[in-house]
Amino acid sequence: MNRDRNNRMADSIKKGEPNIAVVDLFCGVGGLTQGFVKAKFDVRAGIDFDASCKYAYEVNNLTPFIHADLTNYSPSNIATLYPENSIKILAGCAPCQAFSTYQQGNKKNDKWKLLYAFGQIIDAIQPDIVSMENVPNMMKYDDGKVFRDFLNVLEKNQYHVSYTIVDAKDYGVPQNRKRLILLASKLGAIELVKKTHLGNDVKTVRQAIGHLPKIEAGESYKKDPMHRARALSELNLRRIKATSEGGGWKEWQDDLVLECHKKDSGKSYGSVYGRMDWNKVSPTLTTQCTGYGNGRFGHPEQDRAISLREAAILQSFPKKYCFINPKEEFLSTIVEKHIGNAVPPRLGYIIARSIKRHIIQNYGN
């Protein structure tokens, strides 16, 4: 690039003009894209195998959703999404189930192959900047081979690479959520911005969802179908009523405790059937985060598990993010999966901010 173009690009970046093009792989319902959109990037498309993500992705981000299997989707199709002479950013979070602690012994889980597909796309289209988010356990999968192979692709193509494990709460997400963030650039050294929320500055559960209307277990708020809580059995209702804010099953009377938790092997599962604490961040939200028995997903004071809307807000989605097509029936389990799988938009924004700072530094006067 010549000097005049560099200067023009730096000026337009500072003004927030969309001269840098982003494609979001494994985009889901758009958590990462939402972060880039908020940072005023031009996201050209999101690509995902799960067609049920299309409505939420497009309506909230005003960006095309491409339904495709990236293990056999031609990289040339992705290359055509970038305008000529743009700085090309390829972002993505390959589904992390294969790298989950719960899946390490599951030999049939081959979703790790999606990370190899990501690497092959990088190798083929040579984007200027790459961002990748995943669970930290990915670095250990198959004795670290999968991650090393991904790094080898970047190093072979002469990228400057940095990666770090972060906790999303340190960046303004009201949730304990440790993630591996990798940034790579052909323009020069690149790294994630420093933590934005430290110590008492973290955003708490109360600050995030304390304002929402009260609802009962099994009830939906009439003005927001996403603010709905699962019904509880009579036994589980007794259990949650016997649980204090921030507490769990270890404080129950013996007749409420599950038999499996009475065994030595079950005593380590202290977080299931727990309530959140108003004055702390939430636990890591999973794809079953509105189920009372699936973690510390009980509401801090109301006798129910958190609602879909509360889960979305704790993931840092905007309060009016639309997950449901009003013209279609929806399954809470599908929406719950979309929320739990998403990159928190606030973390996406931090990634985008880091990239914007990097580009300005490399194309400044």
In order of 57, 241, 360, the CA distances from 342 in angstroms are 11, 31, 28
**Cα–chain-centroid distance for residue 84?**
30
Amino acid letter, 85 = N
Beta pairing partners, 22: 43, 89
Q: What's the number of CA atoms in the CB half-sphere (13 Å) around residue 180?
A: 19
SS3 of residue 144 by DSSP: helix
- What would the two tokens of residue 42 be? 């031009």
Which residue, among 169, 119, 123, 149, has the nearest Cα to 281 in the 3D structure?
Answer: 169
User: How far, in Å, CA of 320 to CA of 337, rounded?
Assistant: 18
Q: Give the separation between CA 181 and CA 183, rounded to whole angstroms.
A: 7
Given 96, 260, 289, 322, which residue is catalytic? 96
Q: Is 269 exposed, middle or buried (0-12, 13-18, 19+ CB in 10 A)?
A: middle
Q: Tokens representing 208?
A: 């995030």
Other Cβ atoms closer than 10 A to 361: 13
Asked whether 96 and 134 are in contact (CB, 8 A), the reply is yes
The yes-or-no answer on residue 289 being catalytic is no
Q: Does residue 290 come out as left (phi exceeding 0), alpha (psi in the -120 to 50 range) or beta? A: alpha
Torsion of CA 67, 68, 70, 73, to 10 degrees: -140
The Cα 28–Cα 259 span in angstroms is 38
Positions annotated as catalytic residues are: 96
